[in-house]
A and B are shown apart, each in its own frame.
Chain A
Amino acid sequence: MRLLKGGRLVDPVNGRDGAFDVLIEGDRIARVGHDISAEGATIVDIPAGLILCPGLIDMHVHLREPGQEHKETVATGTAAAVAGGFTAVACMPNTSPVNDNAGVTEYILKKARDASLARVYPIGAVSRGQLGEQLADIAELRHAGCVAISDDGRPVATALLMRRALEYAGMFNMPVIEHCEEQTLKGDGVAHEGLHAATLGLRGIPGEAESIMALRDIALAELTAGVVHIAHMSARQTLDAVRYGKARGARVTCEVTPHHFAMTDEMLGMPIPYDTNMKMNPPLRDAADRDTMLRGLADGSIDVIATDHAPHHYDEKQVEFDRAPFGITGLETAVSLCFDRLVHREIVSVGRLVELLSTNPARILGIPGGALAEGACADISILAPDLPVVVSAARMRSKSKNMPFDGWQLRGGVAATIVGGRTVYVNDQVNLRI
């Protein structure tokens, strides 16, 4: 038994925000309350200023295993996750082979058990091989442990297939997570279409490439009463589409990444021109898009913050901009960016941040967590909102270092991460004995 005393507990689901004690017994939360005394419990003093909250859940990561272990493995990816304050991640199926069958799902889950760090919830493919032709064996995927389906990396190829996916996955209460991109409009674009792409001579991707597909999917969610979750939203038009869908009662939710609320396409030209660590899909958009995302986070129309953690090997990024793969890592910088850019700038409250990073992902995926309820799994993130952080790519636990935040100075970070009652990460920069 361990009794966590002190600190500020933030649990929006149970309406708690203040000084509460948490008693952990085995892998469960035994009690949450004031002045708990428990015979025989080890008392852990949480320094004032730290925040205890339900374990953070990143519902959009790429762990790259099986098949691309040179970029990341389940072990290194979950090490990065817990160092980033995440107690659980949902991993996308675009591995090699694609996670479109129980064999791959079970393999990922076995690797996760071996690593025994963050919980891993696999996301299965919508279509066999993610080829956009036949549906994958979705019931089998569900049975093996998948919590959602997605053809992430690309959109579900046709409106008909998306309709069928929404209908079919609905039987198993699985959302369809959609990478929205009208592919002919995207073409061979590599950057947001606008001033900076024009200046740098990069092929553009308009925001409408995203919003057109989001509108298709929202219409199909209405048609089928299916559940669609719009991944890594970047364009203001897409948020308008989501608001439109929600107003009509469509079962649509959406997420935004830290890089899309923290950066704009201006960074393609500076400080390092054509930095391939600024290349991701969807691309960094302009200031109006970024501001729209901030407003959506503030007003509640955005449901989730997810990282789209996309590790790539150094060699793959050390090439010409248009030849580099899309994607950046994000697990270990998300909390710092959220505090620095959202909480300290009073865009969102800590309670709202917990909803975005824990409560809502748990609800959308239908997985445990998202609240610190008595009897629930003891998945707890301990955050240090005022910790000065200097991001160091070299010190990241992820196998890949492809991130644009190297050297950034941010306020806020992670103190410790507890999964199933077990401390799986403690930040040595924080005075915490746990």
Chain B
Amino acid sequence: MKKDLLGIADLSQEEIYLVLDTAEAMREIAQRPIKKVPTLRGKTVVNLFFEPSTRTRTSFEIAEKRLSADTLNIAVATSSVLKGETLADTAMNIEAMAPDMIVLRHASSGAPHFLSRICRSRVINAGDGMHEHPTQALLDAFTIREHKKRIGGLKVAIVGDLLHSRVLRSNALLLTKLGAEVWACGPRTLVPPGLDRLGVHVSTSVDRAVEGADVVMMLRIQQERMQGAFVPSLREYFQVFGMTVERVARAKPDVIIMHPGPMNRGVEIASDVADGPYSVILEQVANGVAVRMAVLYLLAGGAGMD
């Protein structure tokens, strides 16, 4: 693998499969009585989070700890950054303490690319603005493959706020690289112009997107989108785009329902769908740890596992 994991855009099909296959091995560690291997002993990993995150940060931290890395969490409130230090200075100060890897979550698209240019440490993108969230897409692919035994040829519908979603971009890139048919669906106001040229089908009809789908992936719709006049109200959003049991019925009988979290029940997804038999939402969370262990391990050089 390359020095950093900045996005799915930089990964080949082979590298994606390598991560997924490695994650299979990592998952087994979670079933052991002592959930820890010495693989990253003596390595220092800094989780540098400029945006609030519970799931991703916890998932990375558990993954790091299970690999015996020394981990350090730095949560920077954006307000204090505005007052003082630049990202470059923060990064260079951390860099001076010689960490091996920096896991970065940042509200600006491209922040990890910027960090990677100025740091020797390996950089893992844990979500940058509206750009990419590569480990999310990898864990989603892992979850899909587990259920469907393949990714190529599947119809995957991704429904929600396409404009602001880094989960959409990473998943669209990954799933099309592996040969899936990706349908991106959301209100016209939340479809970035140019999306249709990324190899995905763009539709504003949930029914068409979900029709015959093997996988339905819901994206979070944020409250503040009302202010930008993207959608009139959450109530109307649910009526037009919300995933209900009736809409799920248009998909294949063995459809799986996914959500990267955090969910807005009753806004983008009905509770009986989120908690229904086809929901794999909590499996995604569990798989996230294994996939992140795989990424950390492979970036560290992939040694000491055999």
Q: In whole angstroms, what is the CA distance A245 to B114 when docked?
A: 43
Q: Is the CB of A201 within 8 A of B193?
A: no
A274 in contact with B130 (CB, 8 Å)? no
A170 within 8 A of B: no
**Which of A206, A315, A318, A321 sits near B110, CB closer than 8 Å?**
A321
Q: Is the CB of A321 within 8 A of B109?
A: yes
Q: Do the beta carbons of A199 and B114 come within 8 Å of each other?
A: no
Tell me whether A320 is interfacial, beta carbon within 8 Å.
yes
Given contacts A200-B131, A201-B128, A201-B129, contact A322 B198 (CB under 8 A): no
Asked whether A152 is an interface residue with its Cβ less than 8 Å from the other chain, the reply is no
Partner-binding segment picked from A77-85, A94-102, A190-198, A325-333: A190-198
Chain A interface, number of residues (Cβ within 8 angstroms): 23
Are B113 and A273 in contact, CB atoms less than 8 angstroms apart?
Answer: yes
Q: Is the CB of A202 within 8 A of B109?
A: yes
Contact A203 B130 (CB under 8 A): yes
With both beta carbons as reference points, the residue of chain A lying nearest to B173 in the complex is identified as A199
Number of interface residues of B (CB under 8 A): 25
Q: Is A385 on the interface with B (CB-CB < 8 A)?
A: no
Which residues in chain B, 94-140, are within 8 Å of chain A measured between CB atoms?
106, 108-111, 113-114, 117, 128-132
- Neighbour of B129 across the interface among A199, A315, A322, CB < 8 A: A322
Say yes or no: is B31 at the interface (Cβ < 8 Å to chain A).
no
| Contact A198/B131 with A319-B87, A320-B106 known, Cβ cut-off 8 Å | no
In-complex Cβ contact of B194 among A193, A203, A323 (8 A): A193
Q: How far is the CA of A193 from the CA of B110 in the complex (A)?
A: 17
Q: B232: CB under 8 A from chain A?
A: no
Chain B nearest CB, measured from A314 CB (Å): 11
- Let me know if A43 is at the binding interface, CB within 8 A: no
User: A413 at interface (Cβ–Cβ under 8 A)?
Assistant: no
Q: Is the CB of A322 within 8 A of B193?
A: no
The CB with the most chain A CB atoms within 10 A, among B9, B109, B113, is that of: B109
Chain B CB within 8 A of A272 CB: yes
Q: Are A199 and B169 in contact (CB under 8 A)?
A: yes
Residues in chain A near residue B128, CB distance under 8 A: 201
Contact call B198/A198, Cβ cutoff below 8 A: yes
B1 within 8 A of A: no
Nearest residue (CB) in A for B110 is A274
B residues near A323, Cβ cutoff 8 Å:
108
* A412 in the interface (beta carbon within 8 A): no
With a cutoff of 8 Å between Cβ atoms, the chain B residues found around residue A274 in the complex are: 109-110, 113-114
A204 at the interface (CB under 8 A from B): yes
Q: How far is the CB of B195 from chain A (nearest CB, A)?
A: 5
User: Cβ of B226 < 8 Å from any Cβ of A?
Assistant: no
Q: How far is the CB of B176 from chain A (nearest CB, A)?
A: 13
Q: Once bound together, how far apart are the Cα atoms of A194 and B106, in whole Å?
A: 23
Instruction: Report yes or no: A193 in contact with B193, Cβ–Cβ below 8 A.
Output: yes
Are A201 and B113 interface neighbours, CB within 8 A? no
User: Per-position contact with B for A198-231: 1 when CB-CB < 8 Å, else 0?
Assistant: 1111111010000000000000000000000000
CB–CB A318/B194 < 8 A: no
Q: Which residues of B (189-220) have their CB < 8 Å from a CB of A? A: 192-195, 197-198
Minimum-distance CB pairs A-B, first 7: A274-B110, A201-B131, A201-B130, A320-B108, A198-B194, A195-B194, A201-B109
Residues of B within 8 A of A (CB): 9, 86-88, 106, 108-111, 113-114, 117, 128-132, 166, 169, 192-195, 197-198
Q: List 26 A-B contacts (CB under 8 A).
A: A195-B194, A195-B197, A195-B198, A197-B192, A197-B194, A199-B194, A201-B128, A201-B130, A201-B169, A203-B130, A204-B193, A206-B193, A272-B117, A274-B109, A274-B113, A319-B86, A320-B106, A320-B108, A320-B110, A320-B111, A321-B108, A321-B109, A321-B114, A322-B109, A322-B129, A323-B108
